[in-house]
Structure 1
Amino acid sequence: MLRSMYAGVSGMKNFQTKLDVIGNNIANVNTIGFKKSTINFQEMLSQNISDSGTNPMQVGLGSTTAAVNVQHTPGSMMSTGIGTNLSIMGNGFFVVQDPDVAEETGVAGGEGQFLTRSGNFTVNADGNLVTAQGYNVLDSEGRKINIDSNEYDSFAITRDGRLIGKPSDGGEDVSILGDRTVGIVIPENPSGLRKFGGSLYELTGQANAGALNIGTVADAKTEVGSGQLEMSNVDLTEEFTEMIVAQRGFQANSRIISTSDEILQEVVNLKR
């Protein structure tokens, strides 16, 4: 009886965690570049009652959380018309860096560096392409992207990640970064990335055994969309369905506890 009660408690805890994951997904349904999470359960230890028979006699002791995984499937695109708003048309991440940390040329995962799919970038007063948090966007050589407003009247970002500027003297358009493009990184295991906050990810040992080289858009075999943003990949229909499953699972496990309590009450009443 006590085993069933503790099994019910473990089930309620797990479904509460599932509801927490679902709630976070729904809260970020309109967050740019957000990737939803899913949760998996696994059986907890089993208690051996006897090994004397042909088959072992075991009683399970409940369940526990096996993993909470981030699903890096692409989200839908939203057109903004702002040239510095970028989206990746395939796999990969942009690389950004804290401006207070020295740059590590060509290497992702260095100090102060993060990966992101949120491309709502702007150009700050210094001419640097930055995120909403003020982090510098890095190019394919791990350098911050700078657009000198004194040299160029305007600029555009092509699908292959090059920055094309219109010189102030009225000359022909030139490539601002030369052969360099917006930097793209493709981790071996995107699910191993750790969420840092602000739609940023940091590398872990599970994402890649070593540092990642920042490459060009062409190296990543992808394209960059200018004037559009990647929205969240959360599907509300799926999330609300999972919420119903979690709610019923929670109720069923609470019923186990109630039933176990009633049986214990009957045992206590035997003394009367």
Structure 2
Amino acid sequence: MTTFGQRLSSAMDLRGPVCVGIDPHPALLAAWGLPDTAQGVETFALTVIEAVGGRVAAIKPQSALFERHASAGVAVLEKVIAALRAADTLSIVDAKRGDIGSTMQGYAEAYLGDGPLAGDAVTLSPYLGFGSLSPAIELAHRNDKGIFVLCLTSNPEGASIQHARDEIGTSVAALVANEAARINASAPGDLGSVGLVVGATIGDAARQTGVDLAAVRGPLLAPGVGSQGAGATELAHVFGDARRAVLASSSRGILRAGPSVSALRAAAAQSTEQAAGALGR
């Protein structure tokens, strides 16, 4: 079996460098004429998959917006992951989990194992120390799956931690990126399977924090494309020489075109064309 990095690289070459988020916010459900219930979330999510499954490189369900509907919502997330598998579309479960020891092992088994919540990749938080992610990294490698580790996020609060520096002046963000680069150094193909989450609206933050995105050799999941303000200029500015590793994530910018399947499909195609141009694909 090929690694997650190899599969994602092939999907980006074939379908373009865009990941569509499935973010069933209450306001979006209302705009689509759907109830704010687990059933409404299921209709919303499966409509997105009908529209863009098999047409984009990856789809990223936001776990929290399923979890808010308790066990019924988690059951819908399981259906969504299964539907993405059936649609031959890579799934990135946006769960942002992070813990230590047996708890991290439990999260790893849930999202990177063989169960119904396991996608092709999961987002993780490294802020209990990058080493705390070892159970997830090891299981991802055994199962040819991927992880995306929070590195430079676009929320204003993130800088207080991510831009902080240790006693020799290395930023936390750079420490995270350096660990990902170390793991990916021996990975086959163009991309390793340890990716980073890097906001598309962070401006000069990578340079300010000493993060060498090109050296990571892993996929760079870039939220913030579309409705959050990042277009071609911002993508080129933020990622520079690492642009071909970028998987541009767009959620509301595409989802607000629904509930029409054809309109969602057109919005995703337009987003993909714009991102491909900005990223040199």
Q: Point out which structure has higher relative CO (alpha carbons under 8 A, 6+ apart).
A: 1
Computing the radius of gyration from Cα coordinates, the structure with the larger value is 1
Q: TM-score, normalised by structure 2?
A: 0.25
User: Which protein is richer in helix relative to its size?
Assistant: 2
